[in-house]
Amino acid sequence: MDIHKLVRENIRRLKPYSSARSEFRGEASVYLDANENPMNAPYNRYPDPLQEDLKAKIAKLKGVRPSQIMLGVGSDEPIDLVIRIFCEPRQDNIVAIEPTYGMYQVCADINHVEYRKALLNPDYTLDAERLLAAADGHTKVIFLCSPNNPSGNLLDRDAMRQVVKGFGGIVVIDEAYVDFSSEPSWLTELERYPNLIVLQTFSKAWGLASVRCGMAFAAEEITGYFNRVKYPYNLNLLTQQFVSEQLDRASQTQEWVACLLARRAELAAELALIPRVQKVYPSDANFLLVKVTDANALYEELVSRGIIVRNRNHISLCAGCLRITVGTEAENAALISALKD
């Protein structure tokens, strides 16, 4: 597969902005090249546009090469960039599972790229044939999300493989919740599939949603385009340094995940005993999709008690459902006590 042939022509021909920091790489004693204020170190200096120190740490942790990593302002940035790099507005289209994370469609709409929804089965499993049938010669990107938001389940690996192998364009697998799941990441398959992009984030298991740092992993052909199209200094110094420090405390993240998985099991068991709860769907993420007798009314009742969950009642295949994030023991208890009342 020739990735370059999938790329929009203007992007293939793009002469990227050459920043001061990328034109001179290395160590010097006097920097007079970027019109920075010489005072107020270290914040006076533009940050590393390719985040090399941070990528080296992430590469080690994830078992990939630094060159296979693109870092973004959340994973929302690479979602947008994938569409901008591969999809010609008003001509190309993308296909995604439905229901899923809302940002794929928003980014497609902003870029004036047709967004095609391929319904999951009613039990939220993936029908690879149906998904592939929604694609045509103008489909450049397919979005999969596993574990999926809002359904919470992992998609079947063989069905996903059928998509990655059977589609002649880019396949994005969004693994925002992979740290909570029982199955390994698709990162180990990067070498085998040149059209695969895996997204992960520091916003969930790492507890860093406010810091805004997301990861895209792909073959160098693809990360090369990401690096040329993104804003040169997309990740500020504070974010780069802070995430780097957090990576030294990866064991804490593991402890949080173990704790949240225990909380998830408790919460699911308690929810199942509530009369207004009809079904608690199995989850591989840090939230539960819960079917209730009257979602809109229950949502409003919880709001009136200061408890906010996500009302997914209007989403395809999610009629009657609320999406509930697993909180602390006290937060979960407050929810359960409100529901029992």
Ligand X SMILES: *Cc1c(COP(=O)(O)O)cnc(C)c1O
Question: Looking at 73-81, 152-160, 231-239, 300-308, which segment touches ligand X (CB under 6 A)?
Answer: 73-81
Q: Does the footprint of ligand X cover residue 75 (CB under 6 A)?
A: yes
Read off the tokens for 266.
């408790």
The answer to whether 101 contacts ligand X (rule: CB under 6 A) is: yes
Q: How many positions of this chain bind ligand X (CB under 6 A)?
A: 13
Beta strands at 287-292 and 310-311: parallel, antiparallel or unpaired: unpaired
Q: Rounded to the nearest whole angstrom, what is the least distance from the CB of residue 263 to ligand X in the complex?
A: 18
User: Looking at beta carbons only, is 94 or 176 nearer to ligand X?
Assistant: 176
Query: Residue 140 in contact with residue 246, Cβ under 8 Å?
Result: no
- Distance, CA of 29 to CA of 108 (rounded, Å): 45
CA-CA distance, 236 to 242, in Å (whole number)?
10
214-218 β-sheet, strand order:
69-72, 214-218, 196-201, 170-174, 139-145, 93-98, 114-119
Least distance to ligand X, CB of residue 234, Å: 12
Stretch that binds ligand X, among 18-26, 44-52, 197-205, 243-251 (CB under 6 A): 197-205
Residue nearest to ligand X (CB): 74
Q: Which of 6, 51, 58, 76 binds ligand X (CB under 6 A)?
A: 76
Part in contact with ligand X (CB under 6 A); list of ranges 32-40, 68-76, 126-134, 239-247: 68-76
CB of 211 to ligand X, least distance (A): 9
The footprint of ligand X on residues 198-257 (CB under 6 A) is 201, 203-204, 209, 214
Among 176, 243, 280, 315, binds ligand X (CB under 6 A): 176
Closer to ligand X by CB, 201 or 311: give it: 201
Q: Is the Cβ of residue 7 or residue 141 nearer to ligand X in the bound state?
A: 141
- Which residue, among 269, 234, 296, 275, has the nearest Cα to 54 in the 3D structure? 234
**How distant, in Å, are the alpha carbons of 115, 171, 225, 257 from that of 206?**
31, 25, 27, 9
Q: Give 11 or 208: the residue with its C-beta nearer to ligand X.
A: 208
Identify the DSSP state of 26. Answer: S
Backbone angles phi, psi at 176, to 5 degrees: -55, -30
Distances (CA, A) of 101 to 26, 97, 250, 324: 41, 9, 26, 15
- Contact set with ligand X (CB under 6 A): 74-76, 101, 145, 149, 174, 176, 201, 203-204, 209, 214
